[in-house]
Amino acid sequence: MDLQKMVLAQAQQAKEASRILATLSSTDKDQALKKMAGALESGERQILAANQKDLEAGRQKHLSAAMIDRLSLTGGRIKDMAEGLRQIAGQPDPVGAVDRMWKRPNGLEIGLLRVPLGVIAIIYEARPNVTSDAAGLCLKAGNAVILRGGSEAIHSNTAIADIIGQALVDSGLPQESIQLIPLTDRQAVIELLTLDEYIDVVIPRGGEALIRVVVENSTIPVIKHFKGVCHTYVDEGADLTMAGRIVMNAKVQRPGVCNAMETLLVHQRIAEEFLPSMITQLQEAGVQIRGCPRTQALVSGLIPATEEDWLAEYLDLILAVRVVENLNQAIDHISRYGSMHSEAIITRDYSRAGEFLHKVDAAAVYVNASTRFTDGGAFGLGAEIGISTQKLHARGPMGAQDLTTTKYIIFGNGQIRE
Protein backbone atom coordinates (compact mmCIF):
# COMPACT_ATOMS: atom_id res chain seq x y z
CA MET A 1 0.00 0.00 0.00
CA ASP A 2 1.44 3.39 -0.97
CA LEU A 3 1.70 6.33 1.43
CA GLN A 4 -1.42 8.13 0.20
CA LYS A 5 -3.61 5.04 0.43
CA MET A 6 -2.25 4.14 3.87
CA VAL A 7 -2.98 7.56 5.37
CA LEU A 8 -6.43 7.60 3.75
CA ALA A 9 -7.21 4.15 5.16
CA GLN A 10 -6.19 5.26 8.65
CA ALA A 11 -8.44 8.32 8.42
CA GLN A 12 -11.40 6.24 7.23
CA GLN A 13 -10.88 3.71 10.04
CA ALA A 14 -10.65 6.55 12.58
CA LYS A 15 -13.95 7.97 11.32
CA GLU A 16 -15.64 4.61 11.84
CA ALA A 17 -14.11 4.23 15.29
CA SER A 18 -15.22 7.74 16.27
CA ARG A 19 -18.87 6.76 15.84
CA ILE A 20 -18.42 3.98 18.40
CA LEU A 21 -16.40 6.15 20.80
CA ALA A 22 -19.03 8.89 20.77
CA THR A 23 -21.55 6.55 22.39
CA LEU A 24 -19.30 4.84 24.94
CA SER A 25 -20.19 5.02 28.61
CA SER A 26 -17.95 6.87 31.03
CA THR A 27 -17.19 3.57 32.74
CA ASP A 28 -15.97 1.95 29.52
CA LYS A 29 -13.69 4.89 28.72
CA ASP A 30 -12.29 5.16 32.23
CA GLN A 31 -11.58 1.44 32.48
CA ALA A 32 -9.70 1.59 29.19
CA LEU A 33 -7.67 4.58 30.39
CA LYS A 34 -6.69 2.76 33.57
CA LYS A 35 -5.71 -0.33 31.57
CA MET A 36 -3.59 1.88 29.29
CA ALA A 37 -1.87 3.37 32.35
CA GLY A 38 -1.04 -0.06 33.74
CA ALA A 39 0.22 -1.20 30.34
CA LEU A 40 2.63 1.75 30.16
CA GLU A 41 4.12 0.85 33.53
CA SER A 42 4.37 -2.83 32.63
CA GLY A 43 5.99 -1.91 29.30
CA GLU A 44 8.59 0.43 30.82
CA ARG A 45 11.56 -1.68 29.71
CA GLN A 46 10.27 -1.88 26.13
CA ILE A 47 9.64 1.88 26.01
CA LEU A 48 13.03 2.82 27.45
CA ALA A 49 14.83 0.48 25.01
CA ALA A 50 13.03 2.15 22.10
CA ASN A 51 13.79 5.59 23.54
CA GLN A 52 17.50 4.77 23.71
CA LYS A 53 17.49 4.17 19.95
CA ASP A 54 15.99 7.62 19.41
CA LEU A 55 18.46 9.26 21.80
CA GLU A 56 21.44 7.63 20.13
CA ALA A 57 20.22 8.76 16.71
CA GLY A 58 19.56 12.24 18.09
CA ARG A 59 23.07 12.58 19.47
CA GLN A 60 24.51 11.44 16.15
CA LYS A 61 22.47 14.19 14.49
CA HIS A 62 23.82 16.67 17.09
CA LEU A 63 20.38 17.63 18.39
CA SER A 64 20.49 20.46 20.93
CA ALA A 65 20.51 19.74 24.66
CA ALA A 66 16.98 21.11 24.88
CA MET A 67 15.78 18.79 22.11
CA ILE A 68 17.45 15.80 23.75
CA ASP A 69 15.71 16.69 27.01
CA ARG A 70 12.31 16.80 25.31
CA LEU A 71 13.07 13.49 23.61
CA SER A 72 14.28 11.68 26.74
CA LEU A 73 12.14 9.25 28.69
CA THR A 74 12.93 7.89 32.15
CA GLY A 75 11.15 5.56 34.51
CA GLY A 76 9.86 8.64 36.30
CA ARG A 77 8.50 10.21 33.13
CA ILE A 78 6.76 6.98 32.16
CA LYS A 79 5.15 6.86 35.61
CA ASP A 80 4.05 10.46 35.08
CA MET A 81 2.48 9.46 31.75
CA ALA A 82 0.62 6.62 33.46
CA GLU A 83 -0.48 8.87 36.31
CA GLY A 84 -1.72 11.41 33.78
CA LEU A 85 -3.98 8.75 32.23
CA ARG A 86 -5.32 7.83 35.66
CA GLN A 87 -6.03 11.48 36.43
CA ILE A 88 -7.91 11.80 33.14
CA ALA A 89 -9.92 8.70 34.06
CA GLY A 90 -10.77 10.26 37.41
CA GLN A 91 -12.19 13.43 35.92
CA PRO A 92 -15.84 14.05 35.02
CA ASP A 93 -16.81 12.91 31.54
CA PRO A 94 -17.31 16.03 29.40
CA VAL A 95 -19.40 14.13 26.87
CA GLY A 96 -23.11 14.31 27.62
CA ALA A 97 -22.82 17.25 30.01
CA VAL A 98 -25.46 19.93 29.50
CA ASP A 99 -23.85 23.35 29.71
CA ARG A 100 -27.15 25.19 30.19
CA MET A 101 -30.87 24.94 29.57
CA TRP A 102 -33.47 27.66 29.10
CA LYS A 103 -37.15 27.89 28.30
CA ARG A 104 -38.66 30.07 25.60
CA PRO A 105 -42.05 31.84 25.93
CA ASN A 106 -43.55 29.31 23.49
CA GLY A 107 -42.64 26.47 25.83
CA LEU A 108 -39.62 25.14 23.92
CA GLU A 109 -36.83 23.98 26.21
CA ILE A 110 -33.41 24.53 24.63
CA GLY A 111 -30.07 23.25 25.86
CA LEU A 112 -26.41 22.91 24.92
CA LEU A 113 -25.13 19.34 25.07
CA ARG A 114 -21.40 18.50 24.96
CA VAL A 115 -20.42 16.07 22.20
CA PRO A 116 -17.08 14.83 20.80
CA LEU A 117 -15.33 16.68 17.99
CA GLY A 118 -14.95 13.40 16.08
CA VAL A 119 -11.53 12.62 14.63
CA ILE A 120 -8.51 14.61 15.75
CA ALA A 121 -5.10 14.57 14.09
CA ILE A 122 -2.15 15.43 16.35
CA ILE A 123 1.13 16.38 14.64
CA TYR A 124 4.02 16.79 17.05
CA GLU A 125 7.79 16.76 17.37
CA ALA A 126 10.25 15.36 19.93
CA ARG A 127 7.89 14.80 22.88
CA PRO A 128 7.05 11.06 23.06
CA ASN A 129 4.88 11.63 26.14
CA VAL A 130 2.47 13.45 23.80
CA THR A 131 1.60 10.05 22.31
CA SER A 132 0.14 8.93 25.63
CA ASP A 133 -1.33 12.29 26.69
CA ALA A 134 -3.09 12.91 23.38
CA ALA A 135 -4.44 9.37 23.18
CA GLY A 136 -5.84 9.56 26.71
CA LEU A 137 -7.48 12.95 26.35
CA CYS A 138 -9.03 12.11 22.99
CA LEU A 139 -10.44 8.85 24.35
CA LYS A 140 -11.91 10.60 27.41
CA ALA A 141 -13.66 13.09 25.12
CA GLY A 142 -14.97 10.32 22.84
CA ASN A 143 -12.73 11.18 19.88
CA ALA A 144 -10.64 8.96 17.64
CA VAL A 145 -7.09 10.22 17.17
CA ILE A 146 -4.44 9.94 14.48
CA LEU A 147 -0.94 10.60 15.82
CA ARG A 148 2.00 11.68 13.71
CA GLY A 149 5.12 12.23 15.79
CA GLY A 150 8.49 13.55 14.67
CA SER A 151 11.06 11.33 13.03
CA GLU A 152 13.44 11.86 15.96
CA ALA A 153 11.03 9.99 18.29
CA ILE A 154 9.73 7.29 15.92
CA HIS A 155 10.90 4.31 18.00
CA SER A 156 9.57 5.73 21.28
CA ASN A 157 6.24 6.73 19.77
CA THR A 158 5.78 3.36 18.11
CA ALA A 159 6.47 1.49 21.35
CA ILE A 160 4.03 3.65 23.32
CA ALA A 161 1.33 3.43 20.64
CA ASP A 162 1.68 -0.36 20.40
CA ILE A 163 1.36 -0.76 24.16
CA ILE A 164 -1.68 1.45 24.65
CA GLY A 165 -3.24 0.09 21.46
CA GLN A 166 -3.14 -3.43 22.85
CA ALA A 167 -4.67 -2.14 26.09
CA LEU A 168 -7.52 -0.70 24.01
CA VAL A 169 -8.17 -4.05 22.36
CA ASP A 170 -8.03 -5.78 25.73
CA SER A 171 -10.69 -3.31 26.91
CA GLY A 172 -12.98 -4.21 24.02
CA LEU A 173 -12.57 -0.90 22.20
CA PRO A 174 -11.71 -0.46 18.50
CA GLN A 175 -7.95 -0.56 17.92
CA GLU A 176 -8.47 2.13 15.28
CA SER A 177 -9.48 4.59 18.02
CA ILE A 178 -5.79 5.44 18.49
CA GLN A 179 -3.56 5.21 15.43
CA LEU A 180 0.04 6.24 14.85
CA ILE A 181 1.26 7.01 11.36
CA PRO A 182 4.38 4.79 11.23
CA LEU A 183 6.14 6.81 8.54
CA THR A 184 8.64 9.63 8.95
CA ASP A 185 8.12 10.87 5.39
CA ARG A 186 6.95 14.50 5.57
CA GLN A 187 4.56 13.79 2.71
CA ALA A 188 2.45 11.77 5.13
CA VAL A 189 1.65 15.00 6.97
CA ILE A 190 0.70 16.78 3.74
CA GLU A 191 -1.61 13.91 2.79
CA LEU A 192 -3.20 13.88 6.24
CA LEU A 193 -3.92 17.61 6.12
CA THR A 194 -6.18 17.27 3.07
CA LEU A 195 -8.53 14.64 4.50
CA ASP A 196 -11.21 17.04 5.76
CA GLU A 197 -13.91 14.52 4.84
CA TYR A 198 -12.72 12.29 7.68
CA ILE A 199 -10.74 14.47 10.10
CA ASP A 200 -12.47 17.23 12.09
CA VAL A 201 -9.56 19.17 13.58
CA VAL A 202 -5.75 19.24 13.49
CA ILE A 203 -3.63 20.16 16.50
CA PRO A 204 0.09 20.68 15.85
CA ARG A 205 2.58 20.66 18.75
CA GLY A 206 6.13 21.75 18.08
CA GLY A 207 8.23 24.58 16.75
CA GLU A 208 6.95 27.55 14.82
CA ALA A 209 8.13 26.07 11.52
CA LEU A 210 6.00 22.95 12.03
CA ILE A 211 2.91 24.95 12.91
CA ARG A 212 3.30 27.14 9.82
CA VAL A 213 3.62 24.09 7.56
CA VAL A 214 0.41 22.71 9.04
CA VAL A 215 -1.49 26.00 8.77
CA GLU A 216 -0.38 26.62 5.19
CA ASN A 217 -1.25 23.12 3.95
CA SER A 218 -4.34 22.14 5.92
CA THR A 219 -7.87 22.07 4.57
CA ILE A 220 -8.94 21.07 8.10
CA PRO A 221 -9.46 23.56 10.96
CA VAL A 222 -6.23 23.98 12.98
CA ILE A 223 -5.84 24.83 16.67
CA LYS A 224 -2.51 26.66 16.78
CA HIS A 225 0.26 27.09 19.31
CA PHE A 226 2.92 29.04 17.46
CA LYS A 227 5.51 29.58 20.19
CA GLY A 228 6.04 30.49 23.81
CA VAL A 229 7.78 33.83 24.26
CA CYS A 230 7.05 34.13 27.99
CA HIS A 231 7.94 37.13 30.16
CA THR A 232 8.39 37.73 33.87
CA TYR A 233 8.09 41.35 35.03
CA VAL A 234 9.57 42.23 38.42
CA ASP A 235 7.69 45.27 39.63
CA GLU A 236 8.78 48.17 41.81
CA GLY A 237 8.57 47.12 45.46
CA ALA A 238 8.40 43.40 44.69
CA ASP A 239 9.60 40.82 47.21
CA LEU A 240 13.02 40.31 45.64
CA THR A 241 13.67 37.01 47.37
CA MET A 242 10.43 35.66 45.92
CA ALA A 243 11.27 37.22 42.57
CA GLY A 244 14.66 35.51 42.52
CA ARG A 245 13.15 32.07 43.16
CA ILE A 246 10.51 32.55 40.49
CA VAL A 247 12.96 33.86 37.89
CA MET A 248 15.35 30.95 38.45
CA ASN A 249 12.55 28.43 38.21
CA ALA A 250 10.98 30.00 35.11
CA LYS A 251 14.27 30.00 33.21
CA VAL A 252 16.39 27.16 34.56
CA GLN A 253 14.12 24.36 35.80
CA ARG A 254 13.38 23.12 32.26
CA PRO A 255 14.43 25.66 29.62
CA GLY A 256 13.47 23.58 26.57
CA VAL A 257 9.71 23.85 27.02
CA CYS A 258 7.23 26.44 25.79
CA ASN A 259 6.28 27.78 29.23
CA ALA A 260 9.86 28.66 30.20
CA MET A 261 10.64 32.37 30.58
CA GLU A 262 12.50 33.89 27.62
CA THR A 263 12.59 37.58 28.65
CA LEU A 264 12.97 39.17 32.09
CA LEU A 265 11.63 42.70 32.57
CA VAL A 266 12.68 44.68 35.65
CA HIS A 267 11.40 48.04 36.95
CA GLN A 268 14.12 50.69 36.83
CA ARG A 269 13.79 51.55 40.54
CA ILE A 270 14.82 48.08 41.68
CA ALA A 271 17.12 47.13 38.81
CA GLU A 272 20.35 48.17 40.56
CA GLU A 273 19.45 46.22 43.68
CA PHE A 274 18.04 43.16 41.94
CA LEU A 275 19.79 42.54 38.65
CA PRO A 276 23.52 42.14 39.49
CA SER A 277 22.99 39.31 41.97
CA MET A 278 20.17 37.80 39.90
CA ILE A 279 22.29 37.72 36.77
CA THR A 280 25.17 36.17 38.71
CA GLN A 281 22.88 33.36 39.91
CA LEU A 282 21.59 32.78 36.40
CA GLN A 283 25.09 32.72 34.93
CA GLU A 284 26.23 30.25 37.57
CA ALA A 285 23.37 28.03 36.40
CA GLY A 286 24.71 28.23 32.85
CA VAL A 287 22.39 30.91 31.49
CA GLN A 288 23.71 33.27 28.82
CA ILE A 289 22.36 36.80 29.37
CA ARG A 290 21.54 39.22 26.58
CA GLY A 291 20.90 42.63 28.06
CA CYS A 292 19.50 45.98 27.06
CA PRO A 293 21.84 49.02 27.41
CA ARG A 294 20.62 49.76 30.97
CA THR A 295 21.19 46.14 31.97
CA GLN A 296 24.67 46.21 30.45
CA ALA A 297 25.44 49.35 32.45
CA LEU A 298 24.66 47.44 35.65
CA VAL A 299 26.50 44.22 34.76
CA SER A 300 29.60 44.21 32.58
CA GLY A 301 30.41 41.64 29.91
CA LEU A 302 26.86 40.91 28.76
CA ILE A 303 25.91 40.24 25.16
CA PRO A 304 23.88 43.20 23.82
CA ALA A 305 20.24 42.32 23.23
CA THR A 306 18.94 42.92 19.71
CA GLU A 307 15.43 43.28 18.33
CA GLU A 308 15.55 39.57 17.42
CA ASP A 309 16.21 38.66 21.07
CA TRP A 310 12.94 40.22 22.21
CA LEU A 311 11.12 38.01 19.69
CA ALA A 312 13.09 34.84 20.36
CA GLU A 313 11.83 31.58 21.79
CA TYR A 314 15.24 30.25 22.79
CA LEU A 315 14.16 26.94 24.35
CA ASP A 316 17.63 26.98 25.86
CA LEU A 317 19.66 28.51 28.68
CA ILE A 318 19.56 31.98 27.12
CA LEU A 319 17.69 34.94 28.61
CA ALA A 320 16.97 38.43 27.33
CA VAL A 321 16.83 41.11 30.05
CA ARG A 322 15.37 44.60 29.82
CA VAL A 323 15.04 47.39 32.37
CA VAL A 324 11.71 49.20 31.94
CA GLU A 325 10.54 52.55 33.25
CA ASN A 326 7.23 51.38 34.69
CA LEU A 327 4.39 48.87 34.51
CA ASN A 328 2.96 50.39 31.35
CA GLN A 329 6.25 49.99 29.50
CA ALA A 330 6.43 46.36 30.64
CA ILE A 331 2.91 45.72 29.35
CA ASP A 332 3.72 47.50 26.07
CA HIS A 333 6.81 45.30 25.64
CA ILE A 334 4.78 42.14 26.24
CA SER A 335 2.06 43.33 23.85
CA ARG A 336 4.62 43.97 21.12
CA TYR A 337 6.87 40.92 21.51
CA GLY A 338 4.86 38.29 23.39
CA SER A 339 3.20 35.26 21.81
CA MET A 340 0.05 35.29 24.00
CA HIS A 341 1.25 32.20 25.88
CA SER A 342 2.17 32.88 29.54
CA GLU A 343 3.11 36.13 31.29
CA ALA A 344 3.89 36.88 34.95
CA ILE A 345 4.18 39.88 37.26
CA ILE A 346 5.99 39.80 40.60
CA THR A 347 4.52 42.53 42.78
CA ARG A 348 3.23 43.45 46.23
CA ASP A 349 0.83 46.02 44.83
CA TYR A 350 -2.73 44.72 44.43
CA SER A 351 -3.82 47.42 41.99
CA ARG A 352 -0.83 46.89 39.67
CA ALA A 353 -1.41 43.15 39.78
CA GLY A 354 -5.01 43.75 38.73
CA GLU A 355 -3.93 46.09 35.95
CA PHE A 356 -1.46 43.48 34.65
CA LEU A 357 -4.14 40.76 34.70
CA HIS A 358 -6.59 43.05 32.91
CA LYS A 359 -4.30 44.46 30.21
CA VAL A 360 -2.01 41.55 29.30
CA ASP A 361 -3.48 39.48 26.47
CA ALA A 362 -2.26 35.91 26.96
CA ALA A 363 -3.59 32.41 27.51
CA ALA A 364 -2.25 32.39 31.08
CA VAL A 365 -1.43 35.44 33.21
CA TYR A 366 0.27 35.00 36.61
CA VAL A 367 0.71 37.06 39.74
CA ASN A 368 3.67 36.02 41.91
CA ALA A 369 4.18 32.58 40.35
CA SER A 370 6.34 30.92 37.70
CA THR A 371 5.13 30.62 34.11
CA ARG A 372 6.30 26.99 34.26
CA PHE A 373 2.87 26.06 35.66
CA THR A 374 1.14 26.51 32.29
CA ASP A 375 0.59 22.83 31.80
CA GLY A 376 -2.40 20.50 31.77
CA GLY A 377 -1.08 18.38 34.61
CA ALA A 378 -0.20 21.38 36.78
CA PHE A 379 -3.65 22.87 36.15
CA GLY A 380 -5.35 19.67 37.25
CA LEU A 381 -6.41 18.55 33.77
CA GLY A 382 -4.47 15.28 34.02
CA ALA A 383 -2.64 16.07 30.79
CA GLU A 384 -2.99 18.41 27.85
CA ILE A 385 -3.43 18.03 24.14
CA GLY A 386 -1.48 21.25 23.67
CA ILE A 387 -1.43 24.88 24.75
CA SER A 388 -3.52 26.99 22.42
CA THR A 389 -2.35 30.57 21.97
CA GLN A 390 -5.28 31.47 19.73
CA LYS A 391 -8.77 32.45 20.85
CA LEU A 392 -10.85 29.93 18.86
CA HIS A 393 -11.92 27.28 19.74
CA ALA A 394 -9.97 26.91 23.00
CA ARG A 395 -7.20 28.83 24.77
CA GLY A 396 -4.40 27.74 27.09
CA PRO A 397 -3.77 24.14 28.20
CA MET A 398 -6.39 22.00 26.48
CA GLY A 399 -7.91 19.18 28.50
CA ALA A 400 -10.66 16.72 27.65
CA GLN A 401 -13.48 19.28 27.74
CA ASP A 402 -11.63 21.38 25.14
CA LEU A 403 -11.82 18.38 22.81
CA THR A 404 -15.60 18.56 22.72
CA THR A 405 -18.07 20.89 21.07
CA THR A 406 -21.76 21.48 21.67
CA LYS A 407 -24.99 20.83 19.90
CA TYR A 408 -28.38 22.31 20.62
CA ILE A 409 -31.02 20.00 22.01
CA ILE A 410 -34.64 21.18 21.88
CA PHE A 411 -37.65 19.72 23.68
CA GLY A 412 -41.15 20.61 22.58
CA ASN A 413 -44.74 19.47 22.91
CA GLY A 414 -46.08 20.14 19.44
CA GLN A 415 -44.90 23.71 18.80
CA ILE A 416 -44.86 24.97 15.22
CA ARG A 417 -43.43 28.24 13.97
CA GLU A 418 -46.03 30.76 12.83
The structural domains of the chain, with segments of one domain joined by +, span: 3-223+398-411, 230-373
pLDDT bucket at 368, cuts 50 / 70 / 90: very high
For 3-223+398-411, which CATH class?
alpha beta
pLDDT of residue 1: 60
pLDDT of residue 122: 96
Question: Is the pLDDT score of 146 beyond 80?
Answer: yes
Question: Is the pLDDT score of 408 beyond 70?
Answer: yes
DSSP class per residue in 87-149 = HHHTSPP-TT-EEEEEE-TTS-EEEEEEEE--EEEEEE-S-THHHHHHHHHHHHTT-EEEEE-
**What percentage of the chain has pLDDT greater than the value 70?**
100
pLDDT of residue 127: 87
| Range from 14-18, 69-73, 174-178, 217-221 carrying the lowest mean pLDDT | 69-73
Question: Is the pLDDT score of 141 beyond 90?
Answer: yes
The three-state secondary structure class of 406 is strand
Which is more confident, 65 or 159?
159
Average pLDDT over residues 218-241: 94
The amino acid at residue 329 is Q
Average pLDDT over residues 103-110: 98
Average pLDDT, the chain: 95
Long-range pairs of 271-276 with CB within 8 A, sequence gap ≥ 24:
271/295, 271/298, 271/323, 272/298, 273/240, 274/234, 274/240, 274/243, 274/244, 275/299, 275/321, 275/323
Average pLDDT over residues 126-130: 90
pLDDT of residue 30: 98
CA 415 to chain centre: 46
User: pLDDT tens for residues 324-348?
Assistant: 999 999 999 999 999 999 999 999 9
The three-state secondary structure class of 371 is helix
The amino acid at residue 63 is L
Question: Is the pLDDT score of 177 beyond 90?
Answer: yes
Q: Positive or negative, the Cα torsion across 400, 401, 402, 407?
A: positive
pLDDT of residue 227: 86
Question: Is the pLDDT score of 382 beyond 80?
Answer: no
pTM of the model: 0.89
Average pLDDT over residues 189-200: 97
| Neighbouring-strand partners of residue 103 | 109
pLDDT of residue 209: 86
> At how many degrees (to 10) do helices 75-89 and 44-60 cross?
120
Chosen CATH of 230-373 out of 3.40.309.10, 3.30.70.120, 3.40.50.300, 3.30.499.10: 3.40.309.10
The amino acid at residue 261 is M
Average pLDDT over residues 196-204: 97
pLDDT of residue 307: 97
Question: Is the pLDDT score of 323 beyond 90?
Answer: yes
Question: Is the pLDDT score of 253 beyond 90?
Answer: yes
pLDDT of residue 235: 98
The three-state secondary structure class of 345 is strand
Taking alpha carbons only, the member of 140, 117, 143 closest to residue 200 is 117
Taking alpha carbons only, the member of 114, 369, 350, 123 closest to residue 225 is 123
Question: Is the pLDDT score of 226 beyond 80?
Answer: no
